[in-house]
Amino acid sequence: MLGALWPSHRPEVAPRFFVEVLDVGHGTCVLLGEPGGRVALFDAGSRHAARRAGQSLRARLEHHGARELLFAAISHRDDDHRNLLRDRAELPPVRTRIGPPGCPDVDQELFSGVLRFSLGEAVVTLHAPRARLGAPANDRSLWMQVELGEHRLLFFGDADWLGLAEVLDELPSGCDALLWPHHGRTRAGGRALMARARPRAIWISDESAHALEDIAASVPVLATAERGALLWTMEADGAVRTTWAAASRP
């Protein structure tokens, strides 16, 4: 089990399914799917390193053999979650772009409920924000759940205490890993999130690592700021591993 939680560098071979949290500095970009098959994005933005992050995204899309994106889900309107999607000519075609109400450059606004997609063997569920329209934009971020057999992964945008409080009752009890809200900065509501989701690992996407020992002392906290992109895979034999993605920094 420890091999599924603590990353290590190793040569990459094509897995059955992958989830990659790219190293984009302060921002979020999650690529997921089947190598050479159906692939999707959850967020694609970088605040201070958009050029480098865009190069990395294009390189990883090519590495995973992505010719088309089933969807690109944008958690909320901030640039560090969506600016890498602006240059459409540089990316594979995207079937649909999904975001919360008021999010620019989307084809579909998710006002309420959920959207489910089959992505190879996985079921991917996008959840609409439940915070009221008058709430801060961060608290009206979409969030995503990936289910692959008995494995679950959770991904959050920039939700703070209000946004988290509204979705706690929707969260599964137990998951392999959780991408911590707001690049590791969300503190209020963190203990409730840990108690409900019970992640076995926490991931952080940011240009610097954030100490969460007071909230998550019992699980490993893995940050892209440490050594680059995080790659979670299910291998051909069903084994699950988390590694540092080779050549993830251009």
Q: Is residue 238 part of a domain?
A: no
The full DSSP string for 131-156 is S-TTS-GGGG--EEEEEETTEEEEEE
| pLDDT at residue 10 tops 90 | no
Q: Is residue 236 part of a domain?
A: no
pLDDT of residue 162: 87
Residue 144 near residue 167 (C-beta atoms within 8 A): no
More confident residue, 117 or 14: 117
Measured in degrees and rounded to the nearest 5, phi and psi for residue 55 equal -60, -40
Measured in degrees and rounded to the nearest 5, phi and psi for residue 47 equal -75, -50
The one-letter amino acid code at 104 reads P
pLDDT of residue 136: 87
Q: Is residue 200 part of a domain?
A: yes
Q: List Cα–Cα distances, 90 to 105, 135, 184, 246, in angstroms.
A: 16, 35, 30, 22
Q: Is residue 171 part of a domain?
A: yes
Q: Is residue 90 part of a domain?
A: yes
Q: Give the structural domain span for 119.
A: 17-228
Q: How confident is the model at residue 2 (pLDDT cuts 50, 70, 90)?
A: very low
pTM: 0.92
Q: Which residues pair with 240 in a beta bridge?
A: 234
Distance (Å, rounded) from C-alpha 168 to C-alpha 94?
A: 31
Q: Pick from 41, 30, 35, 40: which is nearest to 15 by CA? A: 35
Number of domains in the chain: 1
Q: Is residue 2 part of a domain?
A: no
Q: Pick from 56, 30, 26, 59: which is nearest to 43 by CA? A: 30
Q: Which helix (H) or strand (E) holds 215?
A: helix 213-216
Q: Is residue 4 part of a domain?
A: no
Q: Is 63 helix (H, G, I), strand (E, B) or coil?
A: helix
Average pLDDT over residues 21-31: 96
| pLDDT at residue 250 tops 50 | no
Per-residue pLDDT tens over the stretch 87-132: 888 899 999 999 999 999 999 999 999 999 999 999 999 999 887 7
Q: Is residue 247 part of a domain?
A: no
Q: Residue 199 gets which letter from DSSP?
A: B
Average pLDDT over residues 188-205: 93
Residue showing tokens 């490993």? 220
Residue 145 near residue 154 (C-beta atoms within 8 A): yes
Average pLDDT over residues 60-88: 95
The one-letter amino acid code at 109 reads E
Distance (Å, rounded) from C-alpha 152 to C-alpha 123?
A: 10
Q: How confident is the model at residue 159 (pLDDT cuts 50, 70, 90)?
A: very high
Which CATH number is 108's domain given? 3.60.15.10
